[in-house]
């Protein structure tokens, strides 16, 4: 099929080895190419329009490569924001720059614990700047191997090990992500869509809680802003996300193969170790002249009730400030900070984040003695 048929003379007298040939069958290739191109463009356009009809919009993906870009520009005296998604949504960089005199670098990461980023900055001997650290106890004390820990560790690992190909890939992807809505691997990839199948719990197999869908935009400085449709009063999207937070923030039951007293003792041991590790990291930063301030950002509704019950202030926030000796700002301690409502119970709307940041700045200046 792929070799030239030998002539009769070659069959009788022999000859050189047969030459390899790849015959191209006669077909209207130009027309086929045109049809395939039209089908691909039509299918891509249809998928894009469908995704936009679901509420998705073009925006950057918050992946470890984008985090690495921001981590790379941290200077010795930078102001750095670390922690979870509340610091990511609720901080307006413009207002912080006006009030603090320097533009902060946004390193907070959604659904992650703060420890890997804090440890990385503490180990950076050149860094002696200011850290504004968000505290959500359920995430702050996340144990090793948990999803919040793994997500944060991926960002730090990528910063130290990013290859030239990964770096170039991120720069090439950013313009596409800013113009195409369906480039959402956490929501719209095949794996993500399969994970949305309604599979019930069954003996010996608990289905993990779902993560909320995309409901924010993000710019190249990693400033997240809540999508307006989520912030609308009575928003169906906000109600949907509210019901996702509750199982997501509810601790799973202790494993049946570990006695409960042993399990809770191990959990307490892990929390005490996190207290000690954070205290040691802050001491490293202070020894170089750096500063750290903890901030508890607003939450609302059923999620606030759940957090207050499972991670009470007197067992998380108060010991953290006492052990580290770092200043802290708890939003509910100040009337001007406590009057905000989170549409989906966990984050401020884009407009409220600007006003909240403006009101937070004087408290940051006082805490940091600026």
For the stretch 55-76, pLDDT in tens is 888 999 999 999 999 999 999 9
42 closest CA partner among 30, 53, 50: 50
Give the pLDDT of residue 1: 46
Degrees to nearest 5, angle at CA 364 with 137 and 314: 30
User: What distance, in Å, lies between the first and last C-alpha atoms of the chain?
Assistant: 81
Mean pLDDT of 23-34: 86
Q: Rounded mean pLDDT of 74-95? A: 95
Instruction: Lowest mean pLDDT of 16-30, 65-79, 216-230, 321-335, name the range.
Output: 16-30
Strand-strand pairing, 79-82 and 105-106: parallel
- Of 63-67, 115-119, 189-193, the one with minimum mean pLDDT is 189-193
Distance CA 34, CA 206 (A): 49
Residue bearing the bigger pLDDT, 101 or 257: 101
Residue 7 has pLDDT above 80, yes or no: no
**108 class by beta-carbon count within 10 Å (0-12 exposed, 13-18 middle, 19+ buried):** buried
Say how far apart CA 117 and CA 131 lie, in whole Å.
11
Q: Which residues pair with 329 in a beta bridge?
A: 295
Question: Tens of pLDDT along 277-321?
Answer: 999 999 999 999 999 999 999 999 999 999 999 999 999 999 999
What residue ranges define each of the domains in the chain, with the CATH number in brackets?
8-52 (no CATH), 74-164+221-368 (3.40.50.1110)
CA distances from 353 to 21, 40, 81, 223, 282 (A): 67, 41, 15, 11, 27
- Tell which wins on pLDDT, 282 or 211: 282
Identify whether the C-beta of residue 77 lies closer than 8 Å to the C-beta of residue 129. Answer: yes
Between CA 211 and CA 209 the distance in angstroms is: 7
Q: What is the mean pLDDT of the chain?
A: 90
Helices (runs of H) and strands (runs of E) counted in the chain: 18, 7
Alpha carbon distance 50, 306 (integer Å)? 36
Q: What percent of the chain has pLDDT over 70?
A: 94
Compute the radius of gyration of the chain from its Cα atoms: 27
With H, G, I as helix, E, B as strand and everything else as coil, classify residue 114.
coil
């Amino acid at each position: 099929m792929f070799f030239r048929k030998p002539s009769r003379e070659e069959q009788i007298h022999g000859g050189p080895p047969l030459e390899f040939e790849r015959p191209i069958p006669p077909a209207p290739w130009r027309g086929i190419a045109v049809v395939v191109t039209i089908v691909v463009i039509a299918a891509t356009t249809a998928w894009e329009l469908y995704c936009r009809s679901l509420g998705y919009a073009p925006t950057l993906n918050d992946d470890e490569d984008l985090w690495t870009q921001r981590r790379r520009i941290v200077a010795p005296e930078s102001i750095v924001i670390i922690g979870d998604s509340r610091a990511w949504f609720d901080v307006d960089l413009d207002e912080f720059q006006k009030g603090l005199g320097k533009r902060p670098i946004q390193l907070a990461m959604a659904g992650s614990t703060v420890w890997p980023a804090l440890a990385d900055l503490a180990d950076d001997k050149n860094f002696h700047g200011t850290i504004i650290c968000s505290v959500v106890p359920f995430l702050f004390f996340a144990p090793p191997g948990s999803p919040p820990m793994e997500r944060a560790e991926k960002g730090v690992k990528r910063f130290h090990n990013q290859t030239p190909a990964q770096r170039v890939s991120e720069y090439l992807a950013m313009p596409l992500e800013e113009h195409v809505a369906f480039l959402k691997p956490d929501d719209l990839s095949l794996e993500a869509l399969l994970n949305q199948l309604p599979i019930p719990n069954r003996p010996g197999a608990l289905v993990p809680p779902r993560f909320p869908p995309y409901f924010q935009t993000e710019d190249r400085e990693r400033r997240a802003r809540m999508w307006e449709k989520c912030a609308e009063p009575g928003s169906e999207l906000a109600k949907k996300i509210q019901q996702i937070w509750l199982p997501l923030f509810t601790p799973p039951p202790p494993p049946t193969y570990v006695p409960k007293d042993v399990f809770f003792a191990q959990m307490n041991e892990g929390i005490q170790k996190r207290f000690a590790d954070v205290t040691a990291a802050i001491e490293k930063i202070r020894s170089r002249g750096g500063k750290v301030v903890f901030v508890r950002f607003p939450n609302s509704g059923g999620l606030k009730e759940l957090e207050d019950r499972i991670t009470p202030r007197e067992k998380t926030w108060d010991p953290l400030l006492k052990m580290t000796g770092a200043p802290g700002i708890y939003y509910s301690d100040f009337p001007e900070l406590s009057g905000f409502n989170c549409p989906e119970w966990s984050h401020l709307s884009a407009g409220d984040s600007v006003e909240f940041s403006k009101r937070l700045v004087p408290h940051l200046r006082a805490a940091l003695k600026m």
